[in-house]
Structure 1
Amino acid sequence: MSDQPIRLLIHGASGRMGRALLRLCEGRDDCRAVAAVARRVDQRVIDGVPHFAAAELHGVPAFDVAVDFSLPDGLDRLLALCVQRGAALVSGTTGLSDEQQLALTSAAERIPVLWAANYSLGVAVLDELVERAARALGDWDCDIVEAHHVHKQDAPSGTALALGESARRAGAAPRYASLRAGDIVGEHTVQFSGIGERIELVHRATSRDIFARGALAAAVRLTRQGPGRYGLRELLFADPG
């Protein structure tokens, strides 16, 4: 494997996550941003990284993996470009349609694909704990409560739905509640309630940097894989050798 850093395309570069990815990428030796894409571009080069408007997507330079934190309506063209160029895709865009999820699975026959609702290492561990608890407590009530900032559009959050799917696979029937308030980065509580006792599994994020760090780590690892659709847990916690 080459010792050269992998080349990243940051898609959704003007958003909170996009800005965090660009900033944190500067401090890593294993990857570098070669292009950033946003809906509109006011400055062509920022900190040495060329910026492209979404309409100019096909003009971006060669890249090894695209890291996407945008909106659902921007994913289709990016996915097509990744397939065309044989590049991997890491996406954290939530609110995707069933058709878009199927398109990701279809593209995975040709390129490595990772979609996750949350790239926090702590949430990846939480997801595993939820599945184990649901399997052991199949007759208990399962409730998932999530809180985010007022600008988050989808509810329940993609992370809550992903946690709920892990619980459902293990035999639980999750219910959801959502709160949008202030500048909350992200909080998820999965509660299992029985007669006379209750278990709460909680994750609180205080900085978006945790999601950007996880996405960058996932991007580096994904470029070492062959075509396929991967899960965050298996990718981040697998033996890197």
Structure 2
Amino acid sequence: MSPTLLINGAKGRMGHALLQAAQEFNLTVAATADAGDDLAAAMDRADVTVDFSSHLATRQLLELAIAERKPVVIGTTGHAPEAKAQLLKLAAQVPCVWAGNYSVGVNLLFALTRRATAVLGATYDAEVVEMHHRFKKDAPSGTAARLLEIILEERKLGAEALRHGRNGITGERTSAEVGIHSLRGGDVVGDHTVIFAALGERLELTHKASDRAIFAQGALRAARWIVNQPAGVYDMQDVLGLK
């Protein structure tokens, strides 16, 4: 039997996409919530919460989920690294899928990026370029942040290696840095490119989204999966069996 859903952030762009996708897949939305609503009452009416609201609301959401012993799917981005580390400790107390991107294609991009980083090595300069619509409030995107994490993990580098754009006389690029460039404009749903550039050749891995429905479908797939899992933090790699 499919779980009943609480869509938190239902009035946002992703909220609308989730409501539409739930209807298409015959999933029951038992409750919706937005800023100012009684989130506890809404959570009580559903089996699992799918959250695409605000990073400012994540702590309250997780505290309520722990109290209610309810699984959650979190797609909200924009958390500062220190805050996210603390929130992940809370999230581990319930079954939780936390991902910056719920697209199947993007999660394959994550796997390919890890493989390419391991195979190519530091002689290939790594840069990440992402572009989103003019209304996006955070940068870099959650997807770009995850791509950067993967590259840093494989190369055993810390966050100090990141270069958020370049300006002025920066000197020659070193192999111990990873570039990130965030573009904003128009109605772009989400474009991500990972570039590995060496002397003599360049490899580019690109994913382009044209419809938010792909993210909504992936998040609902995660919601159906997480209700059968023990407490802990999972990502879409787990949901899709890519690990």
The TM tier, using the shorter chain, reads 0.7 to 0.9
Shift of 1:111: 0.8
Shift of 1:102: 3.0
Q: In structure 2, how many angstroms separate the alpha carbons of the residues matched to 1:134 and 1:102?
A: 25
Out of 230, 233, 241, the residue aligned to residue 237 of structure 2 is 233
Is residue 23 of structure 1 aligned with residue 20 of structure 2?
A: yes
- By relative contact order (CA 8 Å, sep 6+), the higher-ranking structure is 2
CA displacement, residues 111-130 of structure 1 (integer Å, 9 cap, x when unaligned) = 11111111110000000000
Superposition CA RMSD, Å = 1.6
Amino acid at match of 1:144: V
Give the match for residue 130 of structure 2.
146
Amino acid at match of 1:58: A
Q: In structure 2, how many angstroms separate the alpha carbons of the residues matched to 1:124 and 1:238?
A: 8
Q: Which runs of 5+ in 1 are unaligned?
A: 40-53
Cα contact 2:59–2:87 (8 A) shared by 1: no
Shift of 1:9: 0.7
Worse-matched range after superposition: 220-229 or 55-64: 55-64
Is residue 166 of structure 1 aligned with residue 163 of structure 2?
A: no
1:6 aligns to what SS in structure 2? coil
Give the match for residue 107 of structure 1.
90
Give the match for residue 42 of structure 1.
none
Number of residue-to-residue matches in the alignment: 221
Shift of 1:22: 0.8
Q: Percent identity?
A: 41
Give the match for residue 208 of structure 1.
212
Give the match for residue 44 of structure 1.
none
Q: In structure 2, how many angstroms separate the alpha carbons of the residues matched to 1:225 and 1:79?
A: 17
Give the match for residue 35 of structure 1.
31
Q: Which runs of 5+ in 2 are unaligned?
A: 158-176
1:5-16 aligned within 5 A? 5-16=2-13
Is residue 123 of structure 1 aligned with residue 119 of structure 2?
A: no
Cα contact 2:133–2:188 (8 A) shared by 1: yes
Give the match for residue 172 of structure 2.
none
CA displacement, residues 176-205 of structure 1 (integer Å, 9 cap, x when unaligned) = 111101000000010000111000000000
Shift of 1:167: 1.3
Worse-matched range after superposition: 205-214 or 169-178: 169-178
